[in-house]
Structure 1
Amino acid sequence: MASESKDTSVAAVLPGVGDAVGVSSPKWYVAVVNNNSEKSVRDKLTSLGHTSYVATQEQVKVWKNGRRARSEQVVIRSVVFVRCSEPERRLIVSYPFIKRFMTDRAATGTGRLAVIPEPQMQTLRFILGNSDTPVSIEERAFRRGDRVRVVRGGLRGLEGEIVDLTGGDSELLIELSVLGCARLRIDRLNVEPSSML
């Protein structure tokens, strides 16, 4: 996808040096930006040599006359993920198009910045790149349901919790810690309880 910039920051740090004194290893931070500016901010950050990612999903819009158009829709509004070191983050927050960096809601009162673990960023990218149905991000915690694993389709191998909806439909919820959870429709025929696997 065009929304991913090339990661050039890793080349400057030798393997195993990330925890050395004075060297800050890159992490995924959550930059808050103006609504509807996510893609332009990503492009500006990329042009300045920073690694960034906007959570988007390609969707098809069908017009009344039957014409179809593909477009890249932003899934998490006002958010740009930035992979950088702490000194680089301090520089980025000074840019006029960055409002602030999100704090960790789970660590109330600490002011600690939200950091998204690499495996969760990979999961988010996987979901958005492979789901055949629109994905939404829920900012609230979700009720505990049956833990399931997707066994068929483009999301095979993904684990999450199933939630029953009215009318017999189901949705799959995948926890993304600081962000909340990704929510998407799923056919129950494509999932099995994790305990069976």
Structure 2
Amino acid sequence: MSAFKPISKNWYVVRTRARSEKKVYSELTSREISCFLPMQRKLRQWKDRKKWVNLPLITGYCFVFISKNEYNRVLQTDNVVSFITFEGKAAVVPSIQIEQLKLMLMQSAFEVEAINENIEPGQKVEIVKGPLIGLEGEFVKCKSKNRFILRVEHINSLFSVELPSDYVTLLTKKHFAYSGQ
């Protein structure tokens, strides 16, 4: 009797060609590959008009939920450049981080901003009030505003949401989900 081993799927990050995130997302979806492209509505102004447009939150990246068997199918997709790697292997993004990113994007009361610079890890916190209750991440105080930071590992991007300081509480290392310790 042979044991059937279920195929495990994980979230990975693929790098796309410049300004091709939506094309990659569309192509992956048409190939029935599960993917996630974080988008946000932004007001853009031209000389003659203003318009609300949907823009990728992280330029140049798309998340895919695949098994190792689907790895090559993703790489063969038009405008996919490569997988983001860590120590020579495709970097796995924890599902909880994808879920928390989706939750942040669903909260229309808060504007989410991608920060493309390396910020040293700060105090680990959990949101205890408001629509983002239960979310964990890093807390950074910058430009005299309180910002909640969610670090997505392996892609050098951070996501921030402005929150009042009484909405968060400090966590100890043993309670923090992403410390890796």
Which range, TM-score by smaller chain? Answer: 0.7 to 0.9
CA distance in 2, matches of 1:69, 1:113: 38
What do you get for the CA RMSD once the two structures are aligned?
2.6
SS for the counterpart of 1:154 is coil
Query: Counterpart in 2 of 1:88?
Result: 70
Stretches of structure 1 that go unaligned for 5 or more consecutive residues are: 1-15
**1:55-84: per-residue Cα shift (whole Å, max 9, x none)?**
21233x27599x874332211111111111
- Mapping of residues 41-80 of structure 1, within 5 Å: 41-59=24-42, 61=43, 69-80=51-62
Q: TM-score, normalised by structure 2?
A: 0.78
Which residue is equivalent to 2:105? 128
Secondary structure of the residue aligned to 2:97 is helix
State the 1:164 CA deviation: 1.6
1:117 aligns with 2:99: no
> What does residue 40 of structure 1 align with?
23
Structure 2, unaligned stretches of length 5 or more?
173-181
Percent identity among equivalent residues?
A: 25
AA aligned to 1:92 is V
CA distance, structure 2, for counterparts of residue 44 and residue 158 of structure 1: 31
Q: What is the TM-score with the length of structure 1 in the denominator?
A: 0.72
> What code does the residue aligned with 1:145 have?
G
Shift of 1:137: 4.1
Q: Which amino acid aligns with 2:77?
A: Y
> For residues 64 and 46 of structure 1, what CA distance do their matches in structure 2 show?
32
> Which letter does structure 2 place at the counterpart of 1:26?
K
